[in-house]
A and B are shown apart, each in its own frame.
Chain A
C-alpha cells in the first residue's frame, strides 16, 4: 500500500511542475506565433472567485505569476463569464481601461485577444494575447488559431489543477507519505532525461 502511495505521490509532485512548464510553453508559442508583446494564462480560483496569473510570456513574465484579481473585472472577466472569445483594439484610448490594465499587467496594451479555457463542462480560465503588430489586421483565422491554443492551454490547466489537488490530498495524509513522495520523486528525476517541455521553457 505504501509503495502505491509513494508512486502516486511521485506522479503528483512531478506532474505539477511538468504541467506548469507545458502551460508556459503554450503562452511562449502563442506569443511567438502572433508576434505579440505578451501572452498570459489566467486560472479561475473557484475558492476565492478570482483570476490568477498562472503563466506569462513576454512583458510581465517573472513578475505577474501568482498575482490575482476579482473574476468579474476586465476583459478577462468578460470572457470568463460569457465564455465567448473577444478581440479588442484601440484600448489605450480608454483611460479607465488603461489604468486597470496597467495595474494588472504592468503596461497598457493597445489591443488584446482573449479566449476562455473550456475543458469538458468547466470554464477553467482565460488565455490572452496582448499587442499583436499594428499592421496585422485581425481576422477570423486568428480567432480560430487562438482557439486551438486555448484548447491546449485548457488541457494543461486541467492537469495542473488535478496535480495540485492530488498534492493537497497527500499533504493531508501526513509527513511520512509526503517525505516518501519527495524521495520517490528525486529518484525518478535522477533516472530520467530532461523533458522537451522544460528544455523549451528555459531556452526562451
Chain B
C-alpha cells in the first residue's frame, strides 16, 4: 500500500516534517543567492524553441517540440530550433543571470495560431511531469476553456516543487496562467539592472522585473533591444535558478517568500 499523503499531523510526528532550510535571522540576497551561478538547476523555457549554440544561450540540455495532429498532442524531439526568436530571447536572459543552469527547450509556439491552446497545455503537462525546477512562461492564453486545466496543472507543479514563472498582462483582459496564485507572475519595471525586482503589494501581478530596453538574443546569433513583460519574466526565472542552486530544498511557497524578502522595495536589495 502506498504511503498516505500527509493530510494531518499526529502529535508525535512534528520531527518528521523538519524544515530542511537553515533560515537566518534576516534573509538577504547574500544568503539567498550570493555566489550562486544556478549550477544544476533545471530551467525549462516553454516557448517558441531555442536557437542552439546562440552565444547568449550556449548549450542546451535538450529540446522537444509539442505537436498536434487530429486532436492528439504529442511530444517529439525538436530539430528545428527556434521558429521566431521569442524563446531564444528568454533563454538568453536566464543564461545571463544563471550561467551554469541547465536550459531545456519545450516548443509550444510557432506552428501557427490554430490549436495553440491544447499544445500549450500539453507542453506544460509534459514539463511538470519531467520535474523541472523552474518553467519560464512568457506567454498566456485568454481561452476560458483552458483555464481550469491550466489551473490544475499550475497547482500540480506547485505541489511537485516545479516553479512556474509567468508573464502578466498589462491590459484589462482575463488571461492565464499568470493570474493563478500558485505561479509567480511578473510585470515590467524600467530600471536597467537585471537583478532589481519589486514585490507588488496589490496583486494579481506579484513582481516587477527588468522589462524595458533589454538586450535580447536574436535569431542568427545576434542581439537586439526589446521591451515587454515577456522579457521581465525570465529575469525572475533566472533569479529563481540562482536561489534554488543554493537552496535546492525550497518549496515554491518558500521560494516566493525569499523573493519577497529580497525584493528591492522590501529591503532585500541592500
Taking Cβ atoms with an 8 Å cutoff, the residues of B that contact A are: 47-48, 83-86, 109-114, 116, 138-145, 167, 169-175, 188-190, 211-213, 218-220, 222, 224-230
Q: Least Cβ distance of B102 to chain A in Å?
A: 24
A-B complex: 3 closest residue pairs judged by Cβ atoms: A87-B227, A82-B139, A71-B113
B110 and A147 form a contact (CB under 8 A): no
Tell whether, in the assembled complex, residue B218 and residue A118 are in contact, meaning their CB atoms are under 8 Å apart.
Answer: no
Using CB atoms, name the residue of chain A closest to B119: A81
Q: Bound complex: CA of A78 vs CA of B113, how far in Å?
A: 10
Hey, what's the 0/1 contact readout for A43-77 against B, CB within 8 Å counting as 1? 01010010000000000000000000011111001
Interface string of A152-175 (1 = CB under 8 A from B): 000000000000000000000000
- Asked if A80 contacts B170 (CB within 8 A), the reply is no
| Chain B interface helix/strand/loop/mixed | loop
Closest beta carbon of chain A to B114's beta carbon, Å: 5
- Say whether, besides A73-B84, A82-B140, A83-B169, A123 and B113 are in contact (CB < 8 Å): yes
Contacts of A118 in B (CB 8 A): 142, 171, 173, 175
Q: Are B228 and A72 in contact (CB under 8 A)?
A: no
Residue of A49, A84, A88, A94 near B138 (CB, 8 A) is A84
Known: A89-B224, A118-B173, A147-B171. A84 touches B142 (CB 8 A): no
Task: Evaluate contact between A83 and B170: CB separation under 8 angstroms.
Answer: no
**A contact residues around B173 at 8 Å (CB):** 118
**Whole-angstrom distance between the alpha carbons of A5 and B208 in the complex?**
53
Beyond the given A46-B114, A72-B109, A84-B169, please list 4 additional residue pairs across the A-B interface where CB-CB is below 8 A.
Answer: A72-B111, A84-B228, A86-B227, A140-B189
| CB<8 Å pairs between A and B, sample of 14 | A46-B113, A49-B113, A49-B114, A72-B113, A78-B84, A83-B142, A84-B169, A85-B228, A86-B227, A89-B225, A94-B220, A96-B219, A122-B142, A139-B212
Q: Are A121 and B174 in contact (CB under 8 A)?
A: yes
Q: Is the CB of A80 within 8 A of B113?
A: yes
Is A138 at the interface (CB under 8 A from chain B)?
A: yes
Contact among B83, B141, B225 for A88, CB-based, below 8 A: B225
If the complex has contacts A121-B142, A138-B212, A151-B172, are A72 and B167 also in contact, measured as CB distance less than 8 A?
no
